[in-house]
Amino acid sequence: MPELPEVETIRRQLNSLLAGKKIRSVKVSLPKMVKLNLGKFKKIVVGAKIICVLRRAKILIVELSNDWSMLVHLKMSGRLIFRRKREKLQEHDTKWNHLIYEFFDGSRLFHNDLRQFGYVKLVKSAELAEFFKKEKLGPEPLEKDFTLEDFAAILKKRPNAKIKQFLMDPQNIAGIGNIYSDEILFFAGVHPLRRTCELKSAEIKKIFGGIKKILAEALKLHGSSDNDYLDALGRKGDYVPQLKVYGREGEKCKKCGGIIARLKIGGRSAHFCPACQALRPSRQ
């Protein structure tokens, strides 16, 4: 699933590519992707101009000129790929494609999704704040106003949570998924099964530093293409070679030479180095 660095990469690209463009038509071949009557959806979207592309957590917000906003969630395998007029199409542009937005200048935006879990919603722009309030999303981790004090306060609210699951819960912090929670915890030297109440001040500070550092570095390299992810230009991200533990079960740790292990937590995999991230005895 695209996480914050991947979704923010797409947002920045689409904001640059789409702002000011007017939607000429939209073709929908999989109606369930659109969480609205198709007739109403097309009536609102067609003819509207794109003002800008924003993001909250892993949700893209396409603000339109008619006081509506399209919310796009890519979920597990969604892609949004932009092609200019007469630009040669690639197989991944049209394979598993479910929506095509055509603009008056001849360019197109392809929304394809192999697993079909993604969606498009329409929300009145004036009601976005209320919509996201109901989603109960945590703070944006790369915002400057997200501080160590904020992070420590959120941890205190979930004292019995395992730190891996805590980081992945969007109601705690927005946008951190499986890949980057693994990498953040390796950076901090913290085992994924540690409970938040067990963490010492120095460990909390290290995890917070890892959140800021790892996400920023991944964003700089346009994210991780370990599976289906491509950016808005159809290119892979370059962060996978930088991964220290995620997807490296059975391989040597790049830090100590030990063997990377994997375990299941709440149905999700956690990759870690047993030596660098030793599990300390619980105090409960």
- Residues marked active site are found at 2-3, 58, 268
Task: Mention every residue, 6+ apart, whose C-beta is less than 8 A from residue 250.
Answer: 259, 260
Say which residue the tokens 């962060």 belong to.
239
Please tell me the number of Cα atoms within 13 Å of 181 on its side-chain side: 26
Strands (E), 104-244: 108-113, 119-124
The radius of gyration of the chain's CA atoms, rounded to the nearest angstrom, is 20
Please tell me whether residue 121 adopts helix, strand or coil conformation.
strand
CB neighbour list of residue 255: distance below 8 Å, 6 or more residues apart: 244, 273, 276
What are the distances in angstroms from CA 212 to CA 5, 8, 41, 164?
11, 14, 38, 16
Q: Give the residue among 196, 207, 110 at the shortest CA–CA distance from 158.
A: 196
